[in-house]
Structure 1
């Protein structure tokens, strides 16, 4: 018959503590409700660029579900749930960030403020989302290596995750700078569309700042976790995961449930159509002139 000390040793092989079943269930349910709500909003408003955030929410649900499964396994703890929760909870914020990057692009297009942005609209999403995808795969690869039983592979995986997180922080820092510069310029030189009461761009820029701050805090704490290593305080105490990862990411999901930028999506679609119409008219006029 196994003793309590056997249980402790078994959990310390992976988690360094006995993961909380209650905590895992609460956040799996919270992320689940928010994710379903987002699915309804995406379908209703055709905001397809929110799909990365939706997938991130699914990752969070499955990740915390896996932590709950680990807690329920007791003495027969297996590697699979640990690996699943490690990978999915690690990379989910990158998917949330991808949607935030695209929100700024739609705000800029909606208020006709491309000339005020440090980065032109054609490059805005490409630069930030591509960098975010790179960070995503670096962290994913690092998480896979960390699950290895080989010590050197696990150490390399930890370094890769650290690099991916640092890249994410750098991307976020630049993104926040681009957002702030655009905000200040638009406030100083308002466009005709910026006065449109159906486009509360100030409010949604503050929503972008708030969600960026939450992801930034989470990433900084995660960096500190991996710098501290397997014997660090953060990795050995589950409370840090919930306070600095679960709570901020759940807040990001819920914030966008409440303040949903559907108006900017509609206006951005209109701006794209109008722009294509103008381009087509110019092209047709040029052809006419050349034929004459």
Structure 2
């Protein structure tokens, strides 16, 4: 399976060129004419990313990954809709649809992190160091994700109506800020758990064989995604606070450099460090076999 990393580097190289694009003299909803090459590169990278996760699914059959695969493909559709916008920059329907399909899928990226971390804590057997109860992780953060998703969805839909556009912008901004606050809390929870575990359970944290090394790899993968998602959340909050025709919205390079690229760099880690390797049915069988082997060695 080809790695999407070379394409990521191409995207990073091309993104700044969009800053040179000039907005047309006549009004259009984006405020500029979108770059077709940038859109094509981004779509190809997202399809490769989804294909990489699909390839891993065929090996481990861990169905939760479909949340991430589906979100990546929907995001790719939102980006590819920027191509017809180049030919029809005054189409409100294309603008709203493309905007929604790029804005909303990251809610599922974050939701995937919430679910994976909750399962990771349960499988590790050391959830006592969490700031909240173990069974509250998925409930609280997924509920928060759903609420902020609905706010963004409703706000984005209202932007299609001239009279409600300002209300829609405010609702979307509230959803984005709420999502960012929730994810900052989640990031603190993840980092605190790792810190307390390393401090209070050194024998567990430092163990370099058996099942512990597996969940520790996945833990660091989740930490890696947190920083990419936070970059995107901060960018979207500032962008929407400025308005749809603020300085960030009017420069296409910011969209690719601070939204598309951080999301890609964050979730690409789940191809080599595939959660199904550690949390799926095959991983559970492998752990049981490892425990059984250790018990047999102790008896011998």
TM-score (norm 2): 0.80
What residue in structure 1 maps to residue 24 of structure 2?
A: 8
In structure 1, which of residues 246, 255, 268 is the aligned counterpart of residue 269 of structure 2? Answer: 255
Q: Which has the higher contact order (CA 8 A, sep 6+)?
A: 2
What residue in structure 2 maps to residue 55 of structure 1?
A: 70
1:89, distance to aligned residue in structure 2 (A): 0.7
1:191, distance to aligned residue in structure 2 (A): 8.2
> Cα 1:25–1:164, aligned 2, differ >3 Å: closer, same or farther?
same
Segments of structure 1 that go 5 or more residues without pairing to the other structure are 1-6, 275-292
1:67 aligns with 2:82: yes
RMSD: 2.4
What residue in structure 2 maps to residue 223 of structure 1?
A: 237
Higher helix share: 1
Give the greater-gyration-radius structure (CA). Answer: 1
> Cα 1:105–1:228, aligned 2, differ >3 Å: closer, same or farther?
same
Q: Deviations over 1:70-92 (max 9, x none)?
A: 12x257x5333222210011111
- Number of residue pairs the alignment of both structures matches: 261
> In structure 2, how many angstroms separate the alpha carbons of the residues matched to 1:224 and 1:81?
23
Segments of structure 2 that go 5 or more residues without pairing to the other structure are 1-22, 289-300
> In structure 1, how many angstroms separate the alpha carbons of the residues matched to 2:101 and 2:159?
13
CA contact (8 A) 1:198 1:263 kept: no
Q: Deviations over 1:105-149 (max 9, x none)?
A: 122122211222222232211111111111111111111111222
> Cα 1:263–1:186, aligned 2, differ >3 Å: closer, same or farther?
farther
1:255, distance to aligned residue in structure 2 (A): 1.8
> Cα 1:155–1:246, aligned 2, differ >3 Å: closer, same or farther?
same
CA contact (8 A) 1:106 1:265 kept: yes
In structure 2, which of residues 87, 92, 96 is the aligned counterpart of residue 83 of structure 1? Answer: 96
What residue in structure 2 maps to residue 233 of structure 1?
A: 247
1:131 aligns with 2:144: yes
CA contact (8 A) 1:112 1:191 kept: no
> In structure 2, how many angstroms separate the alpha carbons of the residues matched to 1:224 and 1:44?
41
What residue in structure 2 maps to residue 183 of structure 1?
A: 194
Q: Indicate the larger mover: 247-256 or 15-24.
A: 247-256
TM-score (norm 1): 0.82
Structure 1 residue runs of 4 or more that deviate by more than 6 Å after TM superposition: none
1:173, distance to aligned residue in structure 2 (A): 1.4
